[in-house]
Amino acid sequence: MSTITVTVNGKAHTSTVEPRTLLVHYLREHLNLTGTHIGCDTSQCGACVVHVDGKSIKACTVLAVQVDGASVTTIEGLAPAGELHPLQEGFWECHGLQCGYCTPGMIMAAADLLQQNPNPSDDEVRHGLEGNLCRCTGYHNIVRAVQYAAAKMRGDEVTA
Amino acid sequence: MIGASLPRPDAVGKVTGATAYPGDLVRAGMAHLAVVYAGRPHARIRHIDTSAARALPGVLAVLTAADVPFNRFGLIDADAPVLCDDVVRYVGDRVALVVADDPASARAATALVRVDYEDLPLVGDVHAALHPDAPLLHPHRPGNIVHRLQIRRGDPDRGFAEADIVLSETFRTSWQEHAFLQPEAGVAWVDDDGRIVVETAGQWLHEDRRQIAAMLRLPEDRVVVRYAAIGGAFGGREDLGVQHLLALAAWVCRRHVALVWRRDESMATRHKRHPFTIETRWGARRDGTITAVAARLLADGGAYASTSQEVVKIATLFATGCYEVANVALEGLALYTNNVPSGAFRGFGSPQAQFASESMVTRLARALGIDPVEMRRRNLYREGSIEPSGEPLPPGVSVRACLDAVVDELARQPQSAPPAGWRRGWGVACGIKNVGYSFGYPEQATATVELSGADVIERAVVRTGVADVGQGSHLAMRQIAAAALGLALGQVHLISDDSAATPDAGSASASRLTLVAGRAVHDAALAALARWHDEERPACATVQFRPRATTPLAAADGAGRPNYCYGYTAQALEVDVDPATGACRVVTIISAHDVGRAINRQQVEGQIEGALAQALGYALMEEFQMRDGQVRTAGFSTYLLPTALDMAPRIIPLILEHADDQGPFGARGMSEMPLVPFAPALAAAIHDATGAWLSRQPMTPERVRAAVRRATAGEEQP
């Protein structure tokens, strides 16, 4: 067993984990943060995307021991309690979800994308979300939702 | 209220991560299940030794067939064993169920269950199933036939004799995996009242309850099925997956139990869309009138019945597409094989049948030198047209209006050039799909509405067992109730996810909920309102809605009234093809749908766009593969799904509203229809771009490139 200290959504956690524990299982099973989903087990679907030190990663590709000392943000910590991040608002307003299972990973991947490129083209949004599968929406409204958030974060006028 | 794009109330939990899906219900102290699968396609079980597995620390029990009170389940025909007792018929058959303190021990114990098998001859595909010497997978099913039907109308021989041109082709389609993003999971326990409670995801609370009760030999009121948030379904949660396994383990062990499947378990064991081989022959006169159609449709039903008999009936009925043909000879066959079972998937036999029929209409048009749109207009169904089963179509035949809308939109499209070296083409196709259950299957939905308040109605509580699989049925039901009652949405409360607290609304399938359950909610709301005006407090009414009756098809010629409502569609696709590699890019999709009345326009568009992505995957890239009874594509690394980059960047949904005479506010179902014309429209576009005809889907780069090469070689011949 290994002892790790991880800051998750601004709160420090010291935990004992098996060395083989994946970050996604640590978040879901040790910390009960079930907003990070498991969809494929093989790192294709992106439902488990979280931020480690500000960068998006698939939490099924990283061991919990690898984030010892790091800062992790999950969908639960993207916005202050009681508020919605512009991306969360965008996915709601633009009907960017149906079953919603891909949504947390999609939003976390999009948040990293917008940090790097605050004014992406639709094509750049599609490239940025290529590692996240959605089986419900056809992606069209997901692109719109990301553009809604991008505009809002730039301070532009937004339309759903 | 009706038609408004109200944002979804469930979105808040979904964007913040607060929403609980079945896999999020696992709690400390629950026992965990793991399944022992057959792993071989066809074998007799000589002996099962569970002693080593039972001896593993942490293992609480290992269940086998002897532990199952009634060891059969199935939606239509209960022919699948819960846990196999004598024979395994596909790799995903379940042989034993381990119950342990933790998931790791449960999984480790599965490897210690020793099963002594005697392998049996493999029935690897439909042709092997049809062989006179083929072993019978189910001894009471001669010829390995799940279901066979024929539909005959007019005089096919005369129809072909009258034709100026007759074309024949064989079309092939592959399995398609539902690939809903949330793998099967759930929890179960026996509550203080001695009821077995299962919390999971499915598509029909009351049918899950019926099958679980039958398995445990319990009255249905001793079984409670509840749905957590459902992470997609598309038909893939119609057959029982984990529900009955959870119920069995909780019932036998008297423990809270949990089961969370991996993706490969989901993919290798659950039912798929049926692969079809369709041999078809079409005759037409020089003026474009189709004179006769013959077709033989072979469907691989896999190891168990699932919904194969209904799927093959629908496919056979639609072998002539949405065209009125005086002379038809159609035969449909679904067969048992040692492959993964085939069953319900969005479209339910229609996409396969109309890949063939729409492709043939386009080919006839090209051969006759008639514009494919004009060819369609000469033959498309109109009000009062006769179906192959010999009766007039239900009222509201709007496929011509759909085609007109597409053609009008097509004329407005900007002209642009494909990338250098690529060729661009357009393809058009139409489609038809039934709304609701067919062929005399009992069709109903029931809803209860209770109104309360002091002087005025302050609150309405709607109860109906409608599954929201992501399509937004819960919001649609609330909008319908609010509109019928003249209330704000916030005043309408919906209870829908508990079999013990709701009346039966039927399944979230066959594009039926808006029409059937929506109408039940609508009528119950009006009935409760009348009682409110009669001073009843609270005012409560329960209404069962039953649409027009349908009938089975006659065995001799398929005569009957198969459906009470159809949805119609037409599509045009702009496609770029790279002749060097065979790669295809869908650039623009125009998709017209008569939805009767859009209850929530945003959700209707969402259903169109989502179905189009599944259609694109089905037509271009998704190919679930089996060889010798083994699954070759049990994960998303080998089974390719469309990403944001694969999806067409331009989608133009066209929503027509020709009111249906049965649906609430005129609404009719639409969620499956976008899948129907896509593949034949794509094949037509590839032909327009390259001169190559594709008759097999998915139309992978290898197949497109080979077809382009054949077409080019053909052109060079004198």
Distance (Å, rounded) from C-alpha A128 to C-alpha A122? 10
CB proximity B456 to A under 8 Å: no
Q: Residue A109 — pLDDT band, cuts 50, 70, 90?
A: very high
Contact call for B15 and A103, based on CB within 8 A: yes
The per-residue pLDDT for B718 is 37
> Which residues have CB under 8 Å from B561's CB, separation 6+?
B389, B391, B549, B550, B551
Residues of B in contact with A127 (CB under 8 A): 645
Location of structure tokens 């790799």: B91
CB proximity B28 to A under 8 Å: no
Q: Residue A113 domain-assigned? A: yes
**Residues in chain A, total:** 160
Q: Return the ∠ at Cα B590 (arms to B589 and B592), rounded to 5°.
A: 140
Mutate one of A140, A148, A159 to test the B interface: name it (highest B CB count within 10 A).
Answer: A140
Q: State whether A31 and A69 are in the same domain.
A: yes
For residue A108, give its domain range.
86-154
Mutate one of A123, A139, A141, A159 to test the B interface: name it (highest B CB count within 10 A).
Answer: A139
Distance (Å, rounded) from C-alpha B438 to C-alpha B442? 9
Tell me where in chain B the CATH 3.30.365.10 domain(s) lie.
172-176+272-389+396-438+555-712, 444-545
CB proximity A124 to B under 8 Å: no
Q: What is the mean pLDDT of residues B541-549?
A: 98
Residues of B in contact with A142 (CB under 8 A): 644
Q: What percent of chain A has pLDDT over 70?
A: 99
Q: Residue A22 domain-assigned? A: yes
List, as one string, the DSSP characters of B48-81: EE-HHHHHSTTEEEEE-GGG-SS--B-SSS--B-
Distance (Å, rounded) from C-alpha B209 to C-alpha B244? 9
CATH code where residue A95 lies: 1.10.150.120
Please check the confidence at residue A160 and state whether its pLDDT lies above 80.
Answer: no
The per-residue pLDDT for B717 is 43
Taking CA–CA distances from A81, the nearest residue in chain B reads: B16
CB proximity B183 to A under 8 Å: yes
Q: Give A 96-115 residues with CB within 8 A of chain B.
A: 97-104, 107
Taking CA–CA distances from A144, the nearest residue in chain B reads: B649
Q: How far is B200 from chain A (nearest CA, A)?
A: 14
Q: How many CB atoms lie within 10 A of CB B28?
A: 6
Supply φ then ψ for residue B143, to 5 degrees. Answer: 75, 10
Token digits for B418? Answer: 């494909």
Q: Residue A85 — pLDDT band, cuts 50, 70, 90?
A: very high
Q: Are B577 and B583 in contact (CB under 8 A)?
A: yes
Name the architecture of domain B30-120+184-260: Alpha-Beta Complex (3.90)
Q: What is the mean pLDDT of residues A83-104?
A: 98
Q: State whether A33 and A97 are in the same domain.
A: no
Distance (Å, rounded) from C-alpha B188 to C-alpha B202? 14
Token digits for A146? Answer: 């990301």
Contact call for B644 and A100, based on CB within 8 A: no
Q: Residue A160 domain-assigned? A: no
Q: Which of B16, B606, B643 sits opposite A35 (nearest CB)?
A: B16
Q: State whether A42 and A97 are in the same domain.
A: no
Q: What is the mean pLDDT of residues A90-95?
A: 97
Contact call for B635 and A44, based on CB within 8 A: yes
Q: State whether A127 and A101 are in the same domain.
A: yes
The per-residue pLDDT for B715 is 62
Q: State whether A37 and A97 are in the same domain.
A: no
Cα separations in angstroms, B182 against A46, B30, B392, B469, B542? 12, 21, 42, 11, 34
For chain A, first and last CA: distance in Å? 49
Tell me where in chain B the CATH 3.90.1170.50 domain(s) lie.
30-120+184-260
Q: pLDDT (tens digit, 9 = 90+) per residue, B65-122?
A: 999 999 999 999 999 999 999 999 999 999 999 999 999 999 999 999 999 999 999 9
Q: What is the mean pLDDT of residues B636-652?
A: 97
Q: How many CB atoms lie within 10 A of CB A102?
A: 31
Q: In what order do the strands lie in the sheet with A49-52?
A: A11-17, A2-8, A71-73, A49-52, A55-58
Q: State whether A113 and A63 are in the same domain.
A: no
Domain B172-176+272-389+396-438+555-712 listed as CATH 1.20.120.530: no
Contact call for B469 and A102, based on CB within 8 A: no
Taking CA–CA distances from A94, the nearest residue in chain B reads: B7
Strand segments (E) across B70-181: 87-88, 94-100, 114-119, 145-153, 165-172
Q: Residue A19 domain-assigned? A: yes
> Which residues have CB under 8 Å from B655's CB, separation 6+?
B592, B593, B595, B598, B601, B604, B605
Cα separations in angstroms, A157 against A129, A151, B447? 24, 7, 43
Contact call for B7 and A93, based on CB within 8 A: yes
Mutate one of B10, B14, B671 to test the A interface: name it (highest A CB count within 10 A).
Answer: B14
Q: Are B571 and B591 in contact (CB under 8 A)?
A: yes
Q: State whether A12 and A45 are in the same domain.
A: yes
Taking CA–CA distances from A90, the nearest residue in chain B reads: B15
Distance (Å, rounded) from C-alpha A149 to C-alpha A158? 8
Q: Are B570 and B431 in contact (CB under 8 A)?
A: yes
Contact call for A139 and B15, based on CB within 8 A: no
Distance (Å, rounded) from C-alpha B603 to C-alpha B294? 39
Q: What is the mean pLDDT of residues B513-540?
A: 98
Q: pLDDT (tens digit, 9 = 90+) per residue, B473-511?
A: 999 999 999 999 999 999 999 999 999 999 999 999 999
Query: If we measure between CA atoms, which residue out of B135, B138, B100 comes closest to residue B121?
Result: B135
Query: If we measure between CA atoms, which residue out of B320, B315, B321, B387 comes closest to residue B560?
Result: B387
Distance of CA B359 to the CA centre of its chain: 22
Location of structure tokens 């595909």: B125
The per-residue pLDDT for A106 is 98
Residues of A in contact with B471 (CB under 8 A): 98
Distance of CA B314 to the CA centre of its chain: 12
How many folded domains does chain A comprise? 2
Mutate one of A48, A73, A93, A99 to test the B interface: name it (highest B CB count within 10 A).
Answer: A99
Query: If we measure between CA atoms, which residue out of B550, B658, B571 comes closest to residue B616?
Result: B571
The per-residue pLDDT for B373 is 98
List, as one string, the DSSP characters of chain A: -EEEEEEETTEEEEEEE-TT-BHHHIIIIIS--TTS--S-SSS-S-TTEEEETTEEEETTSSBGGGGTT-EEE-GGGSS-TT---HHHHHHHHTT--SS-SSHHHHHHHHHHHHHH-SS--HHHHHHHTTT---SSS-SHHHHHHHHHHHHHHHT-----
Q: What is the mean pLDDT of residues A74-101?
A: 97
Q: State whether A14 and A69 are in the same domain.
A: yes
Q: Residue A39 domain-assigned? A: yes
DSSP strand pairing (A2-8 vs A11-17): antiparallel
Q: Are A69 and A6 in contact (CB under 8 A)?
A: yes
Contact call for A100 and B14, based on CB within 8 A: yes
Please check the confidence at residue B716 and state whether its pLDDT lies above 80.
Answer: no
Q: Residue A100 domain-assigned? A: yes
Residues of B in contact with A92 (CB under 8 A): 7-8, 11-12, 15
CB pairs under 8 A between A and B: 177
The per-residue pLDDT for B714 is 80
Mutate one of B8, B10, B12, B15 to test the A interface: name it (highest A CB count within 10 A).
Answer: B15
Q: State whether A102 and A69 are in the same domain.
A: no
Q: What is the mean pLDDT of residues B331-357?
A: 98
Cα dihedral value B450, B454, B458, B460, nearest 10: 0
CATH code where residue A16 lies: 3.10.20.30
Task: Kindly provide the ipTM of the predicted complex, given to two decimals.
Answer: 0.98
Cα separations in angstroms, B623 against A138, B173, B177, B642? 19, 9, 8, 12
Look at residue B366 and give its three-state secondary structure. Answer: helix
Q: Which of B21, B636, B644 sits opposite A101 (nearest CB)?
A: B21
Residues of A in contact with B653 (CB under 8 A): none
* Residues B408-443: b if buried by 16+ CB within 10 A, e if exposed: ebbeeeeeeebeeebbbbbbbbbbbbbbbbbbeeeb
Contact call for B606 and A141, based on CB within 8 A: yes
Domain B444-545, what fold? Aldehyde Oxidoreductase; domain 4 (3.30.365)
